[in-house]
């Protein structure tokens, strides 16, 4: 579920994604790979499954319907607002309750601990949908979007995190900032933008979206400020990834999910940009090379033309899946 025009007015890259409902709008977007996710997880009645990135509950509800009353689905959502919205949607969907759904507000890096503490195992499958929620771009007021220059540059998915985007920009060294912009955003002007950030904060602390945009503009040569995507896109993406430790959490979450799987259990991951997909690809291939798992997708599955027409946000989605052997 992608955010429209993300490349023009928001923190994600041109291939980065958004999904889920906007809690105050009442609109719920269509999940990406809705049917393929169930197929590659090998959903069966009575099974136990984990939706590691529940957001608005689209995949959670599909899984709950497929496993029936004897199955269970553990839905994990880290964001406090999205978790409240998830609780409300589940309550609306099943007004008399649904014992199949177990909701937990935490990060998916805690999967193994949750399975143990809740007695949830053995786990038959885990789904990760790594797209950025449209709520964060459109409704959160946390500085994910370029639209409101006055918004505080927070960028945290959860208040569990200590550092905001502004904190990082005001505290890290030039070299540390350049590494963030280069490694997480593939920003060609990483050193120049880092220098501009350091110069800007020398005059006054960086606090808002507008402050960061001004620093980025100062660091990018004028002839490169016009193009198909907003010139700040890559730097914003990089800062968001750093704030939320997204790449580290994907690594940790995959490892925790694999440890929790029963033999022949499966992991399916929907990614939306090359950084995420690269981590998933390497991890899956490592497990397969060690004889611990079987690749179900040698190459990422892409959405068909019909799905992209119906849901343009799906255009950059990539699905990979793996099955645990032992």
Pairing of strands 18-19, 72-76: unpaired
Same domain, 42 and 118: yes
- The kind and range of the H/E element at 324 are strand 318-324
Place of tokens 């177990």: 102
Q: Is residue 265 part of a domain?
A: yes
Beta bridge partners of residue 51, listed in sequence order:
75, 127
Confidence of residue 169 (pLDDT cuts 50, 70, 90): very high
What pLDDT was estimated at residue 30? 61
Task: With H, G, I as helix, E, B as strand and everything else as coil, classify residue 73.
Answer: strand
Specify whether the CB–CB gap between 48 and 120 falls below 8 A: yes
Q: Is residue 52 part of a domain?
A: yes
- The 3-class secondary structure across 270-284, one letter per residue, is EECCHHHHHHHHHHH
What is the full DSSP assignment across 15-66?
A: T--EES--TTT---PPPTTHHHHHHHHT--TT-EEEETT-TTSHHHHHHHHH
Same domain, 24 and 120: yes
Q: Which of 199, 214, 244 is the last residue of a domain?
A: 244
Same domain, 182 and 105: no
Cα–Cα dist 294/286, whole Å = 10
What pLDDT was estimated at residue 309? 87
Task: With H, G, I as helix, E, B as strand and everything else as coil, classify residue 156.
Answer: coil
Confidence of residue 97 (pLDDT cuts 50, 70, 90): confident
Q: Is residue 172 part of a domain?
A: yes
Same domain, 265 and 251: yes
Same domain, 177 and 79: no
pLDDT at 217 over 60: yes
Confidence of residue 288 (pLDDT cuts 50, 70, 90): very high
Looking up residue 320, the CATH number of its domain turns out to be 3.40.50.150
Q: Which of 213, 244, 275 is the last residue of a domain?
A: 244
pLDDT digits (tens, 9 = 90+) for 33-78: 999 999 999 999 999 999 999 999 999 999 999 999 999 999 999 9
Cα–Cα dist 150/141, whole Å = 10
Nearest alpha carbon to residue 79 among 116, 104, 114: 104
Phi, psi of 320 (to 5 degrees): -125, 150
Half-sphere exposure of 229 (CA within 13 A, CB side): 18
Q: Is residue 139 part of a domain?
A: no
């Amino acid at each position: 579920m992608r955010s429209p025009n993300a490349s023009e007015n928001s923190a994600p890259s041109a291939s980065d994604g958004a999904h889920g409902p906007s809690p105050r709008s009442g609109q719920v977007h269509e999940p990406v790979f809705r049917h393929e996710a169930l197929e590659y997880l090998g959903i069966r009645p009575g099974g136990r499954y984990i939706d590691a990135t529940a957001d608005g509950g689209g995949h959670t509800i599909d899984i709950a319907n497929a496993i029936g009353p004897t199955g269970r689905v553990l839905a994990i959502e880290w964001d406090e607002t999205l978790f409240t919205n998830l609780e409300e949607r589940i309550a609306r969907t099943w007004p008399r309750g649904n014992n199949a759904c177990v909701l937990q507000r935490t990060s998916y890096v805690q999967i193994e601990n949750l399975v143990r503490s809740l007695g949830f195992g053995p786990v038959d499958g885990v789904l990760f949908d790594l797209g950025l929620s449209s709520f964060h771009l459109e409704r959160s007021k946390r500085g994910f979007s370029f639209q409101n220059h006055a918004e505080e540059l927070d960028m945290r998915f959860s208040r569990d995190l200590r550092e905001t985007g502004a904190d990082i920009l005001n505290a890290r060294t030039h070299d540390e900032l350049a590494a963030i912009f280069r490694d997480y955003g593939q920003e060609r002007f990483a050193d120049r933008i880092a220098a501009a950030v350091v110069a800007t904060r020398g005059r006054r602390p960086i606090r808002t979206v507008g402050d960061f945009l001004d620093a980025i503009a100062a660091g990018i040569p004028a002839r490169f400020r016009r193009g198909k995507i907003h010139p700040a896109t890559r730097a914003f993406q990089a800062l968001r990834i750093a704030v939320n430790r997204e790449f580290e959490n994907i690594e940790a979450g995959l490892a925790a999910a694999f440890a929790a799987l029963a033999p022949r259990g499966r992991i399916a991951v929907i990614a939306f940009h090359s950084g995420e997909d690269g981590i998933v690809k390497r991890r899956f291939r490592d497990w397969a090379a060690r004889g611990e798992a079987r690749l179900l997708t040698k190459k990422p599955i892409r959405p068909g033309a019909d799905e992209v027409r119906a849901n343009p946000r799906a255009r950059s989605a990539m699905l990979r899946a793996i099955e645990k052997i032992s």
